[in-house]
Amino acid sequence: NAGVMQNPRHLVRRRGQEARLRCSPMKGHSHVYWYRQLPEEGLKFMVYLQKENIIDESGMPKERFSAEFPKEGPSILRIQQVVRGDSAAYFCASSPSPGLKLFFGSGTQLSVL
């Protein structure tokens, strides 16, 4: 059973471009969470999704950021018109049920030039 798969591992974008981060949860997990981590800081919650539904997006900026978890395929975190402040590590985690163990991916390091 493969773990949570995130790709790409590293993503470099120029200011104004779009970044698409992918996350395939563990098999059987229908709960997906996205977190952002700045250097030397903790993980900041962004969005919590279940299949085809956004449950809580209170941590996600209202503009330029969006997330989806379609019925088929990976969860996608999309950042439009990236700025330097978007540079961070973005982690995805999945769980079979809230309150149980979160399984984390290895993260995507986004660098905006």
Partner 1 sequence: AQTVTQSQPEMSVQEAETVTLSCTYDTSESDYYLFWYKQPPSRQMILVIRQEAYKQQNATENRFSVNFQKAAKSFSLKISDSQLGDAAMYFCAVTNRDDKIIFGKGTRLHILP
Count other C-beta atoms under 10 Å from residue 110's C-beta: 21
| Beta carbon of residue 70, minimum distance to partner 1 (angstroms, whole number) | 20
Taking CA atoms, 59 is separated from 10, 35, 62, in Å, by: 23, 9, 9
Are the C-beta atoms of 59 and 46 separated by less than 8 Å? yes
Give dist(CA 95, CA 12) in Å, integer: 29
Q: Does 107 help bind partner 1 (rule: CB under 8 A)?
A: yes
| Beta carbon of residue 90, minimum distance to partner 1 (angstroms, whole number) | 11
Total number of residues that touch partner 1 (CB under 8 A)? 20
Touching partner 1, residues 31-90 (CB under 8 A): 33, 35, 41-45, 48, 56, 59, 89
- The footprint of partner 1 (CB under 8 A) covers 33, 35, 41-45, 48, 56, 59, 89, 91, 93, 98-99, 101-102, 104, 106-107
